[in-house]
Amino acid sequence: MAAISTSDIRNGITIKVDEGLFSVIEFQHVKPGKGGAFVRTKLRNARTGAVIERTYRSDERLEQAIMDKRDTQFLYRDGDDYIFMDQSTYDQVPVSSKSLGEAANFLKETGKAMLILHNDEIIGVELPASVELTITETEPGIQGDRVSGARKSATLETGLVIQVPLFVGPGEMIKVDTRTGDYMTRA
């Protein structure tokens, strides 16, 4: 772990605090007229996603956690584990569904993902901004359903249930935003 000064804090770096690994979402350097300068930070837990706020004195030292990002491809599911292939070494890496969290809802075979590791422990996954998934089950659109903005439930090939427009039917490929889980457009 590399020790950094609070003046070196930037958005996106990961630091180690008592509660675990946290990524800096936002920071603000404050120099009041009276007293010493300080840095206000908003931090996101790398494992759980919980957000906390912390304030550090300007002369304080923090431990920076070195994160390793690996470009991988999702191969298949084996029980509770998801098997990924490292694109550079072609090694197969098993990842528990607990480590993936909500990202598991957007994974289909041959899909790309970026695994985030710290000391060879998988703590997260980054997906592309959108993925193309096939609708396996939804109610058919009925003649006369022309209400603007109306939605219906649809089950995707990964098991995720989202709201789609009335004109979208079973068997169609759609684009889904991986950050929000919302329907974007037909593929």
Nearest CA to 157 out of 174, 180, 182, 141 is that of 174
Most distant CA pair in the chain, distance: 70
Pairing of the two strands 51-57 and 38-45: antiparallel
- Residue ranges, CATH 2.30.30.30, the chain: 2-64
Q: What is the pLDDT at residue 158?
A: 87
Q: What is the pLDDT at residue 49?
A: 76
Q: What is the pLDDT at residue 85?
A: 92
Sheet holding 151-156, edge to edge: 161-165, 151-156, 130-138, 173-177, 183-186
Is residue 121 within 8 Å of residue 135, measured between CB atoms?
Answer: no
Q: What is the pLDDT at residue 1?
A: 56
Q: What is the pLDDT at residue 53?
A: 92
As a whole number of angstroms, the distance between CA 169 and CA 147 comes to 16
Q: What is the pLDDT at residue 42?
A: 92
As a whole number of angstroms, the distance between CA 130 and CA 3 comes to 36
- Architecture of the 2-64 domain: Roll (2.30)
- The encoded tokens of residue 114 equal 């970026």
Is residue 176 within 8 Å of residue 155, measured between CB atoms?
Answer: no
- Residue ranges, CATH 2.40.50.140, the chain: 68-126, 130-186
68-126 CATH: 2.40.50.140
Neighbour tally for 63: CB within 10 Å: 13
**Chunked mean pLDDT (size 10), the chain, 187 residues:** 80 85 88 88 83 88 87 89 90 84 84 86 84 88 65 88 86 89 86
- The encoded tokens of residue 40 equal 């206000």
DSSP lists the bridge partners of residue 78 as 81
Fold held by 130-186: OB fold (Dihydrolipoamide Acetyltransferase, E2P) (2.40.50)
As a whole number of angstroms, the distance between CA 115 and CA 82 comes to 12
Mean pLDDT, rounded, of the chain: 85
